[in-house]
Amino acid sequence: MLIKQGQQHLFADWPDSGVDDVKKMNFFSQVERLDANYPGGLEAYIQNAKALLADSKAGRNPFAGYIPTVPDGEHLTFGEKNFLEYEEIGVKEAWKTAFVLVAGGLGERLGYNGIKIALSSESTTGRCFLHLYIKSILALQRASIEGNEGAKNTCRIPLVIMTSEDTHAKTQQLLIENNYFGMLSYQVVLLKQEKVACFQDNEARLALDPSDKYIIQTKPHGHGDVHTLLFQSGLLSIWEKKGIEWVLFFQDTNGLLFKAIPAALGVSAQKNLDVNSLAVPRKAKEAIGGICRLTHENGTRMVINVEYNQLDPLLRATGHLDGDVNDASGFSPYPGNINQLIIKLGPYMEELARTNGAIKEFVNPKYKDASKMEFKSSTRLECMMQDYPRTLGASANVGFTVMDAWLAYSPVKNNPEDAAKVPKGNPPHSATSGEMAIYRANSLILRHAGVEVEGPKMETFNGQEVEVWPRIVWSPEWGVTYSTLKSKLLGTCSVSQKSTLVLDGKDIVLDDVNVNGTLVVSAVEDAKVKLHSWRVENSGWVIESVNHKDTNFPEEVRLRGFTIKRLDQEVINIEEAGNFELRQKL
Ligand code: UGB
């Protein structure tokens, strides 16, 4: 097969048999693995590469012939009537949902040495992203079956984590060391993506490792692998038998994500969407893809993400002379894809069976010069999970849900230097902004619920000017939806800018509570706590700036550019089940 596919060069330097035989066997073991992992095998992979490399050399745009227009979707505003209604529907759907976290990326842009899901989502509680995600899923699981006693013992929402060679062992270790953060071990399945073979030239000749002629060079294939792996794993039919109807895909470092999930699930269910992409208003040229309706000259249409580097040229090529620009609203008319997808299981299984789990790919060779004859370094095919709808037929019901960015999206992707260079007004997507966005969202949500939350102070960390709101953090079970959270806030409550408020427990009610300092309330699962007329006045926890080059601090602290100094706090810790009505002695 290799010879037929023009790969003779692989064997050009091979010595006679009897020499390096073990290495030669290992070479073929690698070929077998590469063959088994790709839908259609290595032969299909090489053929796909030949076609895509030819297109790339000829400068053919993958969207040539398509006209982009702004698609219709659901636009939700936090706290409004339809948002609340969708949340209610969505929570009921949660137990019929499988969650899939793509966490195979090394995070080169962030420049962090560990795995990104082990980073703290915020440094007030130090809860890491994976902990936050699992707690959020467990909170949804519980809320979803509330009042349904029969389901209580059987409902276990599945979580799949796609890992890669770079992240697998550390992800496994993080889960085991933390007892799966409260999930049952069988609830969590790790699927490891493998790398794909690299090519050295336009003829799709496989590239050998420069230091070993018996090893084919490999590189990551991209997050689109998640669909292939799910198809190959056999999990989809197991889920179907268990009554799962939705598969929800999400990325590794978005601390806001679960605030948007109940409503987005509600939209999927209400509109019976085959695919629902979660989106946020997008600033023109912001480094996130734009969701477009693409209509081909031949009449075919699709609603699809167009990556930010392709959107501008596509618009210019189709009569929009200024390319990717903001409209009168101050945002691009194309909603920003945040790569959180909800896919309906039944049609998903049918589609993957039809495509053998394959996802549309692309190639991005870096050429040595304009003649495009040689590559600077080897290249490979890549794929993205949001490209799943590209093979769907015209009858597929593909939609999207736009929510406020402050509520739904603030990932941690960029290192401090790059983040500091992001133009003012565009989000820096750094560890600094990711954490501050959580405090801001929680402050705005409490404000919406009637709490007097003092506004932010502007401060600069790692060269990025950010709003510093009161550090308000709650565990996911306290605020699964806005309505449940609101019902736990009574009387006149207030939180000053210098304050920290941590609520860790499901049933914590604040009735006339004023915080000017730090208050930490935690309660075990079956404890109901009500704080009446409570005043907190202490020096609290303060944020201290840290230079990201100061190696006296751990890498994670340097990434954020600040640390929290705990000066004083009031702690209420309820460790037994029961009803606790607490009134402050004045
Ligand atoms: N990932 C994997 O699991 N495996 C891989 O091989 C690669 C990545 P990036 P990207 O949210 O702002 C996406 O690198 O791909 C995981 C969308 O394409 O953080 O540059 C990885 O661990 C873009 O449209 O993002 O851009 C992480 O969880 C926009 O939505 C996830 O895949 C952009 O994200 C994303 O990987 C965004």
Name the closest-CA residue to atom 17, ligand 1: 339
Contact 489/472 with Cβ under 8 angstroms?
Answer: no
Residue 478 CB contacts under 8 Å (≥ 6 apart), including other chains: 485, 488, 503, 504, 505, 506, 508
Ligand 1 atom closest to the Cα of residue 167 is 22
The predicted pLDDT at position 238 comes to 97
Alpha-carbon dihedral 125, 430, 382, 204, rounded to 10 degrees: -130
Calpha distance 61→63 (Å, rounded)? 5
Q: Ligand 1: which atom is nearest the Cα of residue 106?
A: 22
Residue 294 CA to residue 393 CA, distance in Å, equals 13
Ligand 1 centroid distance, CA of 413 (Å): 9
Binding-site residues, ligand 1, Cβ < 6 A: 102-105, 162, 164, 193, 220, 222-223, 251-252, 288-289, 305, 307, 337-339, 384, 386, 411, 413
Distance 362 CA to ligand 1 centre (A): 15
Burial class of 245 by CB neighbour count within 10 A (0 to 12, 13 to 18, 19+): middle
The alpha carbon of 29 is separated from its chain's Cα centroid by a whole number of angstroms, namely 34
For ligand 1, mutation pick of 115, 167, 223, 254 (most atoms within 8 Å of CB): 223
Residue bearing the CA closest to ligand 1, atom 33: 288
Distance CA 340, CA 251 (A): 7
Distance 336 CA to ligand 1 centre (A): 14
Please compute Rg for the chain using Cα positions.
26
The token pair at 266 is 């509600």
Residue 331 exposed, middle or buried by CB count within 10 Å (0-12, 13-18, 19+): middle
Distance 251 CA to ligand 1 centre (A): 7
Output the CA 224–ligand 1 centroid distance in Å.
9
Neighbour tally for 433: CB within 10 Å: 25
CB 490 within 8 A of CB 512: yes
User: Atom of ligand 1 at shortest distance to CA of 385?
Assistant: 18
The residues with which 541 forms a beta bridge, in sequence order, are 566
Ligand 1, atom 21: closest residue by C-alpha: 105
Measure the CA angle with vertex 345, ends 404 and 278; round to 5°: 10
Closest C-alpha among 569, 571, 549 to residue 561:
549
How many A from CA of 534 to the centre of ligand 1?
44
Give the closest residue (by CA) to ligand 1 atom 30. Answer: 338
Q: Whose CA is nearest to atom 6 of ligand 1?
A: 222
Residue 586's pLDDT is 61
Cα–Cα distance measured from residue 456 to residue 497, given in angstroms and rounded to the nearest whole number: 6
**Residue 105 alpha carbon, nearest atom of ligand 1:** 22
Q: ipTM of this complex > 0.85?
A: yes
Handedness of CA 317, 321, 322, 325 (dihedral sign): negative
Which has the closest alpha carbon to 261: 274, 249, 245?
249
- pLDDT, position 423: 86
DSSP character string of 20-66: SHHHHHHHHHHHHHHHHHSTTHHHHHHHHHHHHHHHHHHT--TTTTE
Q: How far is the CA of 88 from the centre of ligand 1 (A)?
A: 29
Cα(223) to ligand 1 centroid in Å equals 6
Cβ–Cβ < 8 Å for 296, 65: yes
Atom 11 of ligand 1 has which residue's CA nearest to it? 338
DSSP 8-class letter at 80: S
Chain-centroid distance, C-alpha 1:
38
For residue 100, give the amino acid letter: V
CA of 109 to the centre of ligand 1 (A): 11
**CA 174 / ligand 1 centre spacing (Å):** 21
**CA gap 51, 203 in Å, rounded:** 9
Q: Separation of 301 CA from ligand 1 center, angstroms?
A: 25
Cβ atoms within 10 Å of 496's Cβ, excluding its own = 16
Q: What is the pTM of this model?
A: 0.95
Nearest to 249 by CA among 377, 149, 373, 359: 359
CA–CA dist 410, 428 (Å, integer): 9
DSSP state of 125: T
**Three-class secondary structure of residue 14 per DSSP:** coil
Give the nearest ligand 1 atom to 226 CA: 3
Among protein residues, the one whose CA lies closest to atom 26 of ligand 1: 288
**Residue minimizing CA distance to atom 1 of ligand 1:** 105
Distance separating alpha carbons of residues 79 and 450, to the nearest angstrom: 12
Top mutation candidate among 133, 218, 251 for ligand 1, by most atoms within 8 Å of CB: 251
Ligand 1 centre to CA of 192 (Å) is: 16
Distance CA 91, CA 114 (A): 33
Phi first, then psi, for residue 216 (nearest 5°) are -80, 135
Q: 415 C-alpha vs ligand 1 centroid, how far in Å? A: 15
The tokens for 67 are 């006209």
**Whole-angstrom distance, CA of residue 73 vs CA of residue 401:** 6
How close is the Cα of 237 to the center of ligand 1, in Å? 27
Measure the CA–CA gap between 301 and 273, rounded to whole angstroms: 16
- State the closest ligand 1 atom to the C-alpha of 409, by its place in the atom list counted from 1: 11
Query: For residue 254, which atom of ligand 1 is closest to its CA?
Result: 11
- Of 121, 228, 282, 339, the one to substitute when testing ligand 1's pocket (max ligand atoms within 8 A of C-beta) is 339
> What pLDDT is stored for residue 287 in this prediction?
82
Q: For residue 380, which amino acid is it?
A: R
Give pLDDT, residue 585: 64
Closest atom of ligand 1 relative to the 250 alpha carbon: 28
List CB contacts of 371: < 8 A, sequence separation 6 or more: none
Distance 110 CA to ligand 1 centre (A): 12
* Residue 150, pLDDT score: 65
CA-nearest residue for atom 35, ligand 1, is 251
Going from the first residue of the chain to its last (586 residues), give the mean pLDDT of each consecutive group of 10, the final group possibly shorter.
96 95 97 95 97 92 90 95 97 96 92 95 98 98 82 85 97 98 97 97 97 96 97 97 97 97 98 97 90 90 90 91 93 95 98 95 94 95 95 90 96 96 89 98 98 98 97 97 97 98 98 98 96 97 95 96 98 97 82
The percent helix, strand, coil of the chain (3-state, each to 5) is: 35, 30, 40
Instruction: Count Cβ atoms below 10 Å from residue 128 Cβ, excluding itself.
Output: 22
